[in-house]
Amino acid sequence: MDPRYADVVALLSRYFDGLYTSDNLALAEVFHPKAIYVCASEEPLVQLTMSEYLPIVEKRPSPASRNEPRKDRILSIAFAGPVTAFAQVNCAIGDRYFTDFLSLIQTEGRWQIISKVFHYDRNQ
C-alpha cells in the first residue's frame, strides 16, 4: 500500500476526532493555517479563514458531549502527484449530515487540509 494513503487516513481520523470532540487545537493541527472553509448549502455563502472557524468550534457543544453516534466515513482518497491529495468524507454533527470535499497538501513532511468545501443536509 502507498504510505501516503495511510498518512492521509491518519490525518482524516484526527479530523473526525477533532470534529466529534469540538477540539479546536486538534483541528488547528490538521488544517493548514491558511486553509479556507466554504459552504454554499444555504444563502449567503459561508467562507471562513481558520482564525474565524476554529473559535466557532471551540464554543459549540461537542457531539461527544451529547452522546451522538459517530457517522464518520471516508468515501474516497485520490492523489495528484506526491504532495497533493483530495478526500471525500461524511460525518454528522447535531441534525446535520455533511459531505466534505477536502483538498490536502503535504508541506514540511506532513499532510494538512488546505481547503474544506462542504454541503450538508438536515436529518429528518
* Dihedrals phi, psi of 92, to nearest 5 degrees: -130, 140
At 3 the pLDDT is: 85
Query: Rounded CA gap, 6 and 10, in Å?
Result: 6
At 61 the pLDDT is: 94
At 124 the pLDDT is: 57
Give the predicted TM-score (pTM) of the model. 0.95
Residue 81 belongs to a domain with what CATH number?
A: 3.10.450.50
Nearest to 116 by CA among 78, 97, 88, 76: 88
* Dihedrals phi, psi of 16, to nearest 5 degrees: -60, -45
Our count of domains for the chain comes to 1
- Tell me the β-bridge partners of 96: 93, 122
Around Cβ 82, how many Cβ atoms within 10 Å? 8
At 23 the pLDDT is: 96
Cell digits of residue 73: 466515513
Query: Rounded CA gap, 40 and 115, in Å?
Result: 14
Q: Are 31 and 102 in contact (CB under 8 A)?
A: no
At 26 the pLDDT is: 97
Nearest to 64 by CA among 15, 23, 12, 34: 23
For the chain, the residue count is: 124
In a 3-state reduction of DSSP, which class is residue 43? coil
- pLDDT tens across the length of the chain (124 residues): 788 999 999 999 999 999 999 999 999 999 999 999 999 998 999 999 999 999 999 999 999 999 999 999 999 999 999 999 999 999 999 999 999 999 999 999 999 999 999 999 997 5
Domain range enclosing 9: 3-122
